[in-house]
Structure 1
Amino acid sequence: MRIIMFDMDGTLVDSGTSITNTINHVRVNLGFEKMEKSFALEKLNDPNISTSKFFYGTDDFTLQQKELFEDYYKENCLKELELYAGIESLLEDLSKDFTLAVATNANSFFAKKMLDHLNIGRYFQTILGYDSVKNPKPHPEMINKILDKHSMRKENAQVIGDSHKDILAAKNAGVDSVLVNWGFSNHDKDAIETIEELKNRIYIKFNS
């Protein structure tokens, strides 16, 4: 039994426009200026900063911020949403040999809605979001929870993501990982560029 856990935003789906628009909707309502898309997404993936502090100036997300974000995102998360090229065929191939899951710092409800909208939700036996754990990535709780649910050993698992938060979550759980470079960050090293490279990395791990 083997499992592959995918991040969602920036790994499976290009949701950068709707995420940025939602962040800016909250910022404007709080009296801040809008942020440029690539800058906002880069900071969203940075494990070394507090996202609530950086985007909204508070130590933790407030109820007002959460409501502003979720109300807007609920109405707009399917707009300008696209699968990265090659993802659907990759999932089709992998689903024959692996259990597939999603570990995302997005809300579980929105994640399932978005993946179903793009017709790939059917590939995943588990879609786990931040609302299902106490500690989102880079904490390992999400990875460990999926392993436990499927009774998988960490040696038989791999995490795929576009952020160092994903890689740290995997490392903290003792799980192998692959960093991809087609998402929201522009990595200088240790990241793969193509779906073909990703497929090779997966099969090298599990066939070695």
Structure 2
Amino acid sequence: MSQKSLTSFLFDMDGTLVDSAAGLAGAVNDVRASFGFPPLPAADFREAASEGSAALLRVGFGVTPENPRYPSLRESFFTAYEARCRKPTLFPGVTELLAAIDRKGLVWGIVTNKPQEFAEAIAASTPAMARCAIVVGSRPGVPLKPAPDGILRALKELALKPEQTLYTGDDRRDIEAGKAAGTSTLLALWGYRPKDADTSLWAPDFTASSPEDIIRLLP
């Protein structure tokens, strides 16, 4: 695809727009503290930050969703995270990227596996993200990425053409979801992907080392 044919841009949230690892780690450690456990280093959670609550609780407590303790730990984690998520830290260059998209009058939105209520609260809490045309988060009964459902919903609600849309994320599931939805895909190399991942196997259409690189793709 020619970059000049791109007219709309959709983004993952954690590890792409928002450097959320510290806040997510803090929420897990808040739950650990309620059990009298010491905190774990924030770095332990970095690669899990894009993978959702199941991965974070696996790191923090060694549990999986099949564990009887998982539902209550997940609920406690969400309660702790709600208190922390309203002061997000954007990755360097994200504010400038979104401003550049706005200046060109292009449409952009957010599609994330983060629960809808958290995604909306985080987007609304920063002027840069509050300007987005849509926030699509996870909802009960709707498959998560790598399923394309969230991206397809954004495309439909904004009347966007997938062949003119770029989906950007930092995880393999983002690239798979974008391809399944028919969009072009971009891998954000500044995110939380595993250090040993062979990202060439993911076959994104573009890669970017920084948000500034995406500005060069704008028409």
Give the TM-score band, short-chain normalised. 0.7 to 0.9
After superposition, what is the alpha-carbon deviation per residue over 1:52-79, rounded to whole angstroms, capped at 9, x for unaligned? 8834523358431332011101111235
Q: Separation in 1 of the partners of 2:35 and 2:191? A: 28
Give CA-to-partner distance per residue, 1:113-170, whole Å, 9 cap, x none.
2222221233211111112661111111111111111222210211111122211111
* TM-score normalised over the length of structure 2: 0.77
Please name the residue that 2:117 is paired with.
109
User: How does 1:61-80 map onto structure 2 within 5 Å?
Assistant: 62-79=70-87
Which residue pairs with 2:63 in the alignment?
57
Aligned to 2:143: 135
2:47 alignment counterpart: 42
| Aligned residue identity for 1:148 | K
Residue 21 of structure 1 pairs with residue 26 of structure 2:
yes
Does the 8 Å CA contact 1:52/1:60 hold for their aligned counterparts?
no
Paired with 1:127 and 1:38, the residues of 2 have a C-alpha distance of 28
> Higher mean Cα deviation, 140-149 or 53-62?
53-62
Residue in structure 1 matching 2:91, options 84, 87, 95: 84
- Tell me, what secondary structure is at the counterpart of 1:120? helix
Deviates more, 1:98-107 or 1:190-199: 190-199
Q: Distance in 1 between matches of 2:114 and 2:83?
A: 15
CA RMSD of aligned residues (A): 2.9
- The number of residues matched between the two structures is 200
Q: What percent identity do the matched residue pairs reach?
A: 25
Q: Which runs of 5 or more structure 1 residues have no equivalent in the other structure?
A: none
The answer to whether the 8 Å contact 1:25/1:72 transfers is yes
TM-score normalised over the length of structure 1 = 0.80
Instruction: Give how far 1:101 is off.
Output: 0.7
Q: Quote the offset at 1:181 in angstroms.
A: 1.6
> What residue ranges of structure 2 are gaps of 5+ in the alignment?
1-5, 201-206
2:126 counterpart of 1:118: yes
- TM-superposed deviation, 1:30: 7.1
